[in-house]
Amino acid sequence: MTGHGIGCCGAFCETCRERTEGRCPGCTVGYETGERDIAKARCKIKTCCIGKLGGGCSCADCQGSPRCNVLQDFYGKNGYKYKKYQESLEFIRASGPAAFVTIAKKWKGAYGRLAN
């Protein structure tokens, strides 16, 4: 999880069931302190994001993310949530993380509606 509660992929970690029920430590927790080894991470998005940008950020902060093969593969998967995560990153790039967090805090999960 980034400093804003935003996962590397665009998920909002603060309301994500996996995170709130203790099954997910978040994207960046422990890597900056050495408690976790990024080389052992299974999430390609996380290893790319943290490897290029360091902790406390999301793929929205990366200039190459609109063309990133790792992200495009993730967003191309079947499932509603993948498109929602893509929408989230696009919203963050356009409006900033603070505007995103203001909306996302009302969600019941890791993704939700961005416009009224």
Higher pLDDT, 60 or 27: 60
Q: Hunting for tokens 């665009």 — which residue is that? A: 10
Q: Coil, strand or helix: which one is 88?
A: helix
The residue type of 107 is W
Has residue 47 got a pLDDT over 70?
Answer: yes
Compute how many other C-beta atoms are within 10 angstroms of the C-beta atom of residue 109: 15
Q: How far apart are the C-alpha atoms of 56 and 95, rounded to whole Å?
A: 18
Judge contact between 38 and 32, C-beta under 8 A.
no
The reported pLDDT for the residue numbered 54 is: 67
* Burial annotation 6-23 (CB, 10 A radius, 16+ → b, else e): bbbbbbbbbbbeebeeee
pLDDT of residue 56: 63
Per-residue pLDDT at 29: 79
Residue count of the chain, please give it: 116
Q: Are 104 and 12 in contact (CB under 8 A)?
A: yes
Tens-digit pLDDT profile for residues 54-79: 666 788 888 888 888 999 999 999 99
- Ranked by mean pLDDT, the top range of 1-15, 27-41, 60-74 is 60-74
pLDDT band, residue 1 (cuts 50/70/90): very low
- Mean pLDDT over 15-39 rounds to 84
Structure confidence by residue, pLDDT tens digits, 80-94 = 999 999 999 999 999
Cβ–Cβ < 8 Å for 75, 104: no
